[in-house]
Structure 1
Amino acid sequence: MAIAPWADFITRWNDGKVTPEELTDWQTSALRTVLGHVYDKSPFYGRRLAGVNLDIKELTGLADIPFTTKDDLREAMHDMLSGTVADAAFYFETTGTTGRPTPCPRAPIDFDLNVLPLAHALDAIVRKHFTGTEERPVLAVVAPNDVHAACLSLSFAAKQLGIAKLDLFPITPTLGFARFFEVLVELKVNMILCSPGLLMALAEMSSTYGVEVPEDLSVKVLLTTGEMCSDGMRDLLAQTWHAESYNFMYGSQEAGCPAVTRADGTVMAVEPTYLLEVLDLETEASLGLQGYGELCLTTLVPGLKPLIRYRTGDLVEIAPDASGRRAVQVLGRVKDMTRIGGAKRSAAEIDNAILADPELIYGYEIDVFSDDGEDRLEVRAKAKEGADHDEIKKLVSGRLTAAFGVPAEVKIHPLLDLKSATGGWVSWKTARIKDRRVPEVADDIEARSAADLARAVERAI
């Protein structure tokens, strides 16, 4: 499959030169092609799609195609591929923090078409912040790079744009936190890509290494990825680092990057290469390509591991903006929703209620209790230096009670569990919430993975 026609169409779409009718025709044709591709080449989809009408004439026909689940990926493993690992340009795999690691090889067409929207997004942000200045961008990617796509993808995107880029993951024996902070200062790094939780942990621990955030650094742009970044967390990052914070890219090892930020901060679906379908949380029925519910992805690129109606487990709200493009809000995971005061609350709702005063706190952990059937909340908040503790308690407890209709007690803690900083790579809820109303799972892989990550950070510190 030639890459050039895809790249040309993506670039035209990015530049606003594709009409809605052209996009729909492109997506419908690409959907038919990718369905035939996986049926012919993937052992898993050859079985799963047997007897299914794949000659789809309209995008609404997508709802008649069977789902693909995370369990399918773990059970099928290499049978999910439309080819072999030898066909790949690069091999990646999932981290195994939520279950069995699964192969995620990328053929040249997969990798190149995944990098292109990242390059477009990065270019827009660089132009916004560096045009008309003598300063040139230096991008540090603070993420693991062992069989992980983020570092390599950003390397290629940065290279296309002529941006200096370095991998700078402190939780490794070859770097460590002391040298991490030295490099930030020495190179005058002015852009960082990192998970939100780790960015806050870095700000909090920096003084231990003789560096004050933000005073001693040159960082002006934060690009977040790897876990949910609520509006409250985005504002907390911006206030703490004195930098503009972007929810840069949404994606996964399995699915690639189906949504990227614009320079105005809106996260947009990459519609030429993905269909972002929304499923009703109760009925699992398709709501089409917009609405509130679980995100279900279909890869349109006929590469090495296309996924058809892949249930991500992520909670989203998708709506068209003024230009007709679809804006994506990622609100956490569906399974991370917590029933408080008789209603299910998303991770983003809880985050935004607690983090509404970014000048006061670094982060939090929360316990949910039930007394005679009535819910109550206990919050442990990490106060910023000089913040009024009584003011924090009053503001946070008041907002939680107003938002969720339950009493809330706030305590100021000098140090939070490191899982609240690193555990978000595994699960936002595992990292921050303990539901005391239900018994703990004896062998919870997500809890174990979050604890393992926290121990790795402790060793690196």
Structure 2
Amino acid sequence: MFTLFRPELEAYAREVLAEQRRLHQEGAPADDLHALQMERVAETIRYARANSAFYRARLSDVAVPPTGPIGLQELAAVPFTTKDDLRSELFDVMSQPLDRAWVYYETTGTTGRATPCPRDERDSIVNNTALTLAYQDIFAQHGERHVVAVMGPTELHSTGDTFGDVLRNLGHTVVKMWPHSPVVGFPRALALLERLGVTALVCTPGMAISLAKAARAAGVDLRSRLGVRLILTLGELTSPAMLENLGALWSAGVYNCMYASQEASIMAACHADGRLYTEPLNNYVEVVDPDTGRAVEPVDGVREGELVVTHLYQGSKPLVRYRTGDMVRLSARAGSVREVMQPIGRVRDALRLGGRRVTAFDLEQALFTHVRGVIDYYLVIDERDGQDLVTVHLEPANREAGLRLDREAIRRSVADAFGVRCEVVLGPTDAITSTGAMVSWKAARIDDRRGGEPEPERLAALAIATGRSA
């Protein structure tokens, strides 16, 4: 509604919607889209260099024409922007003063200095339009109208505002709640889910697990007393096999609904087929080798490496060649200019098991291939007789689910996939597994005891978990 009071923004919103709707419904010739992207990359470089103190210095020697597109060779010479840059330069990265933004967010600051993430109306229009078009078909598959519980992690996080706007666009009812808040709490959250007839959740996988645990402790049957039909997960790495397990647990359709960050906004959105797709009108994406920074070549149509993004719109804080620190697999899709994106874990979350590099995604996917009816899990990695030993701790949803688990199949799956010894233990997990979105998947799910002292992120996760259980 705010655009009614800002005619220039109403016109901009209509232009963005028309352009994104054309791409969503009809696609676009790849050559035409690439030319448009190169023109908008150049616009972002010129805009950031003119308005950001950080980029004025960082991009001073970048060869970009005064008008028109930048070439691929010239773009490859543009310096990267890193998370360390954002943490050290803070407000100097911004291309607008704070009083030009409509809202201010920050990163959580649990694994490093919190960084400012303000957004102006154009930032929100571009990103929320893409999400609205992507999610309309997902929600339609699960009913005409929905009451949606949106569970954002902090007051300084964008989840509540973003989904409030997107769900309002789609005509659904929003209930904003944070069960970890002392004002709300899990008993009240469960009561609201039941009393309001909530049909959909927007939350982290860890929150879906925590709610299921709280329901079990309260004697609330997820299937007979709660009518949740749809869960959109975000904020944590989640494998397709884990999504299937959550779906079985809740008797709901579960989608990994976006790949995004506070700093870089929406980089991929889930569509009706359950896959994440890039948003080529929002970002220009590159995939680089995390060690060398060089572009990776596709192997069998798949590019695997660290994701790099440049914003194609000019708002409060556009980023140029931003190294996300996240590993992805990007796959071309026949007849589409969008690529399928599979996040596979942070660069620094990679493990060495059985003498080779293993991603978080591959480890979780292999584990859950033979797991259903499990409410939570974590892994302990140790060394025994010169060989890696992975102990898989699983918390069954109930006694019957525990009896159905084929522990030998799980053990073989992990041992054979990664060349390690494996043991499987059934029993309760603790609060640390719920900290993945606040810290990292690895810190929440992996207790690697091979290096002596716990890593700093593991200690941060333990501190958050202790605070929540106090």
Alignment TM-score, normalising by the size of structure 1? 0.94
How many angstroms apart in 1 are the aligned matches of 2:34 and 2:435? 40
Offset of residue 420 of structure 1 = 1.0
Post-superposition Cα deviations, 1:409-434, rounded to whole Å, max 9, x if no partner, equal 11112x11211123343111111112
Aligned positions of 1:56-455 closer than 5 A: 57-59=70-72, 61-131=74-144, 136-287=145-296, 291-324=303-336, 325-385=338-398, 386-389=400-403, 391-413=405-427, 415-441=428-454, 444=456, 446-455=457-466
Q: Secondary structure at the match of 1:114?
A: helix
Q: Give the equivalent residue in structure 2 for 1:20.
A: 30
Gaps of 5+ in 1: none
How many angstroms apart in 1 are the aligned matches of 2:230 and 2:463? 30
Q: Does the CA-based 8 Å contact 1:423-1:453 persist in structure 2? A: no
Offset of residue 453 of structure 1 = 2.9
Q: Does the CA-based 8 Å contact 2:151-2:159 persist in structure 1? A: no
Q: Does the CA-based 8 Å contact 2:63-2:74 persist in structure 1? A: no
Q: Give the equivalent residue in structure 2 for 1:54.
A: 64
Q: Secondary structure at the match of 1:169?
A: coil
Q: Does the CA-based 8 Å contact 1:389-1:412 persist in structure 2? A: no
The change in CA–CA distance for 1:373 and 1:281 in structure 2 (over 3 A counts) is farther
Q: Secondary structure at the match of 1:263?
A: coil
The change in CA–CA distance for 1:150 and 1:50 in structure 2 (over 3 A counts) is same
Q: Secondary structure at the match of 2:80?
A: coil
Post-superposition Cα deviations, 1:328-361, rounded to whole Å, max 9, x if no partner, equal 0011111111100111111011111211234242
Offset of residue 262 of structure 1 = 0.4
Gaps of 5+ in 2: 1-7
Q: Does the CA-based 8 Å contact 1:423-1:430 persist in structure 2? A: yes
Q: Give the equivalent residue in structure 1 for 2:21.
A: 11
Q: Does the CA-based 8 Å contact 1:121-1:261 persist in structure 2? A: yes
RMSD: 1.9
Count of residues in correspondence between the two structures:
452
What amino acid does structure 2 have at the position aligned with 1:246?
Y
Q: Does the CA-based 8 Å contact 1:235-1:358 persist in structure 2? A: no
How many angstroms apart in 2 are the aligned matches of 1:372 and 1:60? 51
Decide which moves more: 422-431 or 156-165: 422-431
Q: Give the equivalent residue in structure 2 for 1:36.
A: 46
Q: Does the CA-based 8 Å contact 1:277-1:288 persist in structure 2? A: no
Offset of residue 145 of structure 1 = 4.3
Offset of residue 17 of structure 1 = 4.0
How many angstroms apart in 2 are the aligned matches of 1:189 and 1:391? 31
Q: Secondary structure at the match of 1:359?
A: coil
Q: Secondary structure at the match of 2:266?
A: strand
Decide which moves more: 283-292 or 221-230: 283-292
Q: Give the equivalent residue in structure 1 for 2:469.
A: 458
Post-superposition Cα deviations, 1:40-93, rounded to whole Å, max 9, x if no partner, equal 100000011111112353345422110111110010000000011101011111
How many angstroms apart in 2 are the aligned matches of 1:433 and 1:395? 21
Post-superposition Cα deviations, 1:159-212, rounded to whole Å, max 9, x if no partner, equal 112111111211112211111001100111111011012211211221323421
Q: Secondary structure at the match of 2:142?
A: helix
Decide which moves more: 282-291 or 340-349: 282-291
Offset of residue 292 of structure 1 = 0.2
Q: Secondary structure at the match of 2:425?
A: strand
Q: Secondary structure at the match of 1:287?
A: coil
Identity score, percent: 34
What amino acid does structure 1 have at the position aligned with 2:401?
A
How many angstroms apart in 2 are the aligned matches of 1:92 and 1:370? 42
Q: Secondary structure at the match of 2:189?
A: helix
Q: Does the CA-based 8 Å contact 1:145-1:151 persist in structure 2? A: no
What amino acid does structure 2 have at the position aligned with 1:408?
C
What amino acid does structure 2 have at the position aligned with 1:233?
M
The change in CA–CA distance for 1:141 and 1:59 in structure 2 (over 3 A counts) is farther
